[in-house]
Structure 1
Amino acid sequence: MTDLTFRDATADDVPAVVDLVESAYRGESSRAGWTTEADLLQGRRTDAEGIAAVVAAPGSALLLAERDGILVGCCELRRTGSVAYFGTFAVSPLAQGGGIGRTLLTRADAEAVARWGSDALEMTVIAQRADLIAWYERLGFRVTGERRPFPYGDERFGIPQRDDLEFVVLRRPTAGDR
């Protein structure tokens, strides 16, 4: 994936990032890729306020991956002690399966080490997403055994289509510690 360029998002990027994340996870457009949550959650996955908060927060970054100046992927990094939280990870549904996600994750890992000296990446994934969890495990993440409740009633995270959603926590050492 040498044709990808990376940069930190700015406030001007917020609308495009919201569109990318929504297209990767919700609605019919998300079904073009394999990361869809459309059968688990309806409604929005994120909004401009949430993305703008990530962009503006100290100790965090929203990393963008672009190809020929077009946004094709993004991820959030947030310093939490010696661990970097990895989230808001999205790749355009029409570009999924081509290595962008793996390349972006590798870049995020390197950025967490360079920016904060992070010794691990941590993330949460909806427990019912076994295919996605398996993909992360192939990339060195391990399920920690910790589970976190899904924020039922907070429509900023979507409208659940089932009553058993929860998050599993995954973690992997950064490349600097492997």
Structure 2
Amino acid sequence: MKKGSEGFKPENLIQSNIPATWKAMEALYDSGKARAIGVSNFSSKKLADLLEVACIPPAVNQVECHPSWQQDKLREFCKSKGVHLSGFSPLGSPGTTWLKSDVLKHPVINLIAEKLGKTPAQVALHWGLKTGNSVLPKSTNEARMKQNFDVFDWTIPEDLLAKFSEIQQASFVHETYGSYRSLEEFWDGEI
């Protein structure tokens, strides 16, 4: 962000210096002030570029990941490099203006939930865990929090798991502000 800017506004974004920032994070790790260091919203290309200069590889890459934004290429790249992929918003981002996706209302998710006697949230969370991600759901509702934990002692059969590939993948960019003008540019052609 530009020095002295207030609030997250696209016109306040500036180019980042990822190698210098990473070196500073490595210094925190080396000093014992951080037990692990990681990145957020890195594409495979950005992660590969970082790995070229990193002495300490990122432990994790945290990205939005859910059935409507599956991140297949990125997930495979992270796995090949030993970087854990952690999925935030594993239930989607209902109500956002930049991402047109409502995972919990998606017909495929609801079909699977109905067939398995589970909630759409449980299906989405189970899918995320099955792909090898960690999932970071958010809720303030105690009943939903308990439901979110009921994702471990059952499985989605292969025929229903295959239906996830039918889900159209979401996208976002800002055409005027920021460093990236298109989705392909931001995600380096991975979506």
User: TM over 0.5: same fold?
Assistant: no
The structure in which a higher percent of residues are helix is 2
The structure having more radius of gyration, on CA atoms, is 2
The structure in which a higher percent of residues are strand is 1
Q: TM-score, normalised by structure 1?
A: 0.32
